[in-house]
Amino acid sequence: MSATKSSPSDAAQNQVVQKNETEVTISKNSSDAKTRSPSCCPHTVGETVVARWSEDKVWYNAVIDSIDDASSQAHVTFIDYGNSATVSVNKIVATANDIPADELEMVDECVQLPICLPLTSAPLASIKEEDPVLPLG
């Protein structure tokens, strides 16, 4: 991958990156709607996600307020509690299903985890019915 800048005066505004024979202009001006920086984060601003708060290492429901590709950080608001924080984008997942298995014990009670019911070893048809209850009398 090679990077070239168009001119010293434009260097602060745009950078052209050649990758896989495709030219992409990376704009440092957020108001430039024609070009967009390739995002380090697969999520978008306004998306409801599950994010891990660095203070207690617990996963909470959140909404993404902003994303800083340069630092790989996102500013989120934890929607069940109203507080905000900056978190690493690698600590943001789309749903509770995407929380790493070794961190499932550190999930807030408001986050809905998938319910997994154990399978029975016998088919339902083979379950024996109890004898009907006869009236006393």
Write the DSSP string, 26-87.
EES-TT--S--PPPSSS--TT-EEEEEETTTTEEEEEEEEEEETTTTEEEEEETTT--EEEE
Q: Mind listing the pLDDT tens digit for each residue in 17-68?
A: 333 333 333 333 443 333 333 456 789 999 999 999 999 999 999 999 999 9
pLDDT of residue 41: 72
Q: Give how far Cα 31 sits from Cα of 13, 26, 34, 59, 75, Å.
A: 11, 12, 9, 33, 19
Q: Mind listing the pLDDT tens digit for each residue in 61-92?
A: 999 999 999 999 999 999 999 999 999 999 99
With residue 111 as reference, give the H or E element that holds it: none
pLDDT of residue 106: 96
